[in-house]
Amino acid sequence: MNIHEFLSAEADCDREGLVDLRSLDCVSHYDSHLMCPICHCAFVQPVRLQCDHVFCGKCLRSAITSFRSTDSDVFPCPSCRTPTYEVLTSVPRLLINMCDDIRVRCPFIPEGCQETLPRGHVQSHVDKYCAYRPVPCPDTSCDQMIRQKDLYPDQKCTHGLQQCPRCEEDVMEQDYEEHDKELCPSLETTCVDCGTTIVRREMKKHVEACPEVVSPCAASKYGCPVKIRRAEIGGHEQLCPLIAMSPYFEAQNTRLDLLELTVRHLQQRNEIFEDGLANIRSTLVDSAPAGMSGASGGNDHQTDNMDESVDRSSSVFSSNATTYLLSLHESLREEVDQLSHAITDLDARASMTILNESLRIKEDMAHTNAAVNSVRMQVQWLMNPRLHHGPRAGVRANTVGGNDTNRSPLAASSAPGPSSTAGPSMGPLRPRRPSDSGREGTKL
């Protein structure tokens, strides 16, 4: 049988009313080799693969549908993963017999059937023989179920209510017999612990008070392991240190509960806040780059700003859009503020550098001036002898008296000392250093 045929054969093995053999309660122990590796129950309608692995037909079907890529002709064996094309429905008779021989309980235990029987017979037992199988009530106006054995011989509805004459309780007709013999609260019963005979309805009260009942110490919830008869528990309770401590434990417990409650509340609030924060953050991330890219200088700046605005808005959190826009506005304003700060800063810095630079240049110029001056002096000095020679020759040649009157006050004021030996006939002279005058004296 190829897998397509196998899969389409599904319909006729899943019919209504079939006992689910897997849910049966096994009485006898069976070998683990009789267990389907997929459902871990004894095989139900087993099939075999080429690799000799055996599975329940139904399990293999679900395995194929969940493993096979759509509509392919091959699937891996669920046990050994051998690629498989074919499913063999012929399984050794021995295997089926062993599975059918496992003893199970009738599925209608809750209804009262105590039968145990081989698994292979369960279906026919349920179909034909089980007296406890629920069937619809013969009275068509009644929608309850009735056990098969109650159906015969008179075929009447047993769901009508009947009053018990002793306890005045309403009991359904089908349950009356049981009630009358066992359950009626007016019946007498014996206490298992102290052996006194009491009426059933008093039993509950009696168990709470019975001196023979073994009950735990009152501080058992705080860890006292003692469990003794009620008659003796009074003595224990006077000695038990945990009882003495129990008011304290009680107080601590209530405190703990209270704290836990508070913590839970706070956690909830915290969650709400965090949600809100995350909302704001995501909206900001979405819109901020568009809104800020014109204004902001750098990315770091931007995220800083964003965080700030997120912090701020979280403190006055409300999900409404105006608040969000306001916070955005606020953050933009701050951005602008920062930028203007930066600009003034730059301005100041620029003027400062200009000032510095001009000072330096001024100083430079002063230096240059001084240098130029000194050079001029040198040049003048160098030029001086030549200038002297020229006029002297002219004076000698011409001996212009008018010239003398012009020059003499200058010469008198500027050339005191040895040079004055040159006489008033010397040309116009600039003030000279003493060493110069010495040299000039030798030259002259």
What DSSP designation does 107 have? T
Q: What value, to the nearest 5°, has the Cα angle with vertex 83 and ends 82 and 84?
A: 105
User: Among 3, 24, 46, 78, which residue interacts with other proteins (rule: CB under 8 A)?
Assistant: 78
User: Among 58, 125, 133, 407, which residue interacts with other proteins (rule: CB under 8 A)?
Assistant: 58
Nearest to 39 by CA among 124, 99, 107: 99
Q: Does 81 bind other proteins (CB under 8 A)?
A: yes
Nearest to 130 by CA among 100, 107, 102, 152: 107
- As a whole number of angstroms, the distance between CA 271 and CA 89 comes to 59
State the minimum distance, in angstroms, from the CB of residue 156 to other proteins: 37
Choose the stretch contacting other proteins; rule: CB under 8 A; options: 79-87, 115-123, 126-134, 195-203: 79-87
- Which of 59, 306 has the CB closer to other proteins? 59
- Which of 23, 442 has the CB closer to other proteins? 23
Report CA torsion sign: 225, 230, 236, 242: positive
How many beta carbons lie within 10 A of that of residue 214, not counting itself?
Answer: 12
Termini Cα distance of the chain: 145
Choose the stretch contacting other proteins; rule: CB under 8 A; options: 63-71, 176-184, 215-223, 315-323: 63-71
- Which of 109, 245 has the CB closer to other proteins? 109
State the minimum distance, in angstroms, from the CB of residue 263 to other proteins: 21
State the minimum distance, in angstroms, from the CB of residue 20 to other proteins: 9
- Which of 45, 79 has the CB closer to other proteins? 79
Q: Does 82 bind other proteins (CB under 8 A)?
A: no
State the minimum distance, in angstroms, from the CB of residue 107 to other proteins: 14
State the minimum distance, in angstroms, from the CB of residue 11 to other proteins: 18
Q: Does 59 bind other proteins (CB under 8 A)?
A: yes
Q: Which residues contact 164 (CB under 8 A, 6 or more apart)?
A: 170, 171, 176, 179, 180, 184
What DSSP designation does 179 have? I
- The tokens describing 374, both together, are 């000194």
Q: How far is CA 345 from CA 257, 335, 437, 440, in A?
A: 59, 15, 61, 64
Q: Does 174 bind other proteins (CB under 8 A)?
A: no
With residue 185 as reference, give the H or E element that holds it.
none
- As a whole number of angstroms, the distance between CA 139 and CA 126 comes to 23
- Which of 37, 276 has the CB closer to other proteins? 37
- Which of 20, 363 has the CB closer to other proteins? 20
Choose the stretch contacting other proteins; rule: CB under 8 A; options: 59-67, 135-143, 396-404, 421-429: 59-67
Footprint of other proteins on residues 344-403 (CB under 8 A)? none
- Which of 55, 324 has the CB closer to other proteins? 55
- As a whole number of angstroms, the distance between CA 378 and CA 376 comes to 5
For 55-80, b/e burial (b = at least 16 CB within 10 A) is bbbbbbbebbeeebeeeeeebebbee
What DSSP designation does 85 have? -
Q: Does 119 bind other proteins (CB under 8 A)?
A: no
State the minimum distance, in angstroms, from the CB of residue 145 to other proteins: 23
User: Among 62, 323, 384, 425, which residue interacts with other proteins (rule: CB under 8 A)?
Assistant: 62
User: Among 10, 18, 27, 67, which residue interacts with other proteins (rule: CB under 8 A)?
Assistant: 67
State the minimum distance, in angstroms, from the CB of residue 146 to other proteins: 28
Footprint of other proteins on residues 10-49 (CB under 8 A)? 22-23, 37-41
Q: What are phi and psi of 338, to 5 degrees?
A: -60, -45
Choose the stretch contacting other proteins; rule: CB under 8 A; options: 61-69, 178-186, 227-235, 328-336: 61-69
CA 328 to the chain's CA centroid: 28
Task: Count the residues of the shown chain that bind other proteins, applying the rule CB under 8 A.
Answer: 17
Choose the stretch contacting other proteins; rule: CB under 8 A; options: 73-81, 105-113, 177-185, 391-399: 73-81
DSSP secondary structure string for all residues of 210-258: -TTSEEE-TTGGGT---EEEHHHHHHHHHH-HHHHHHHHHHHHHHHHHH
Q: Which residues are near other proteins by CB under 8 A? A: 22-23, 37-41, 58-59, 62-63, 66-67, 78-81
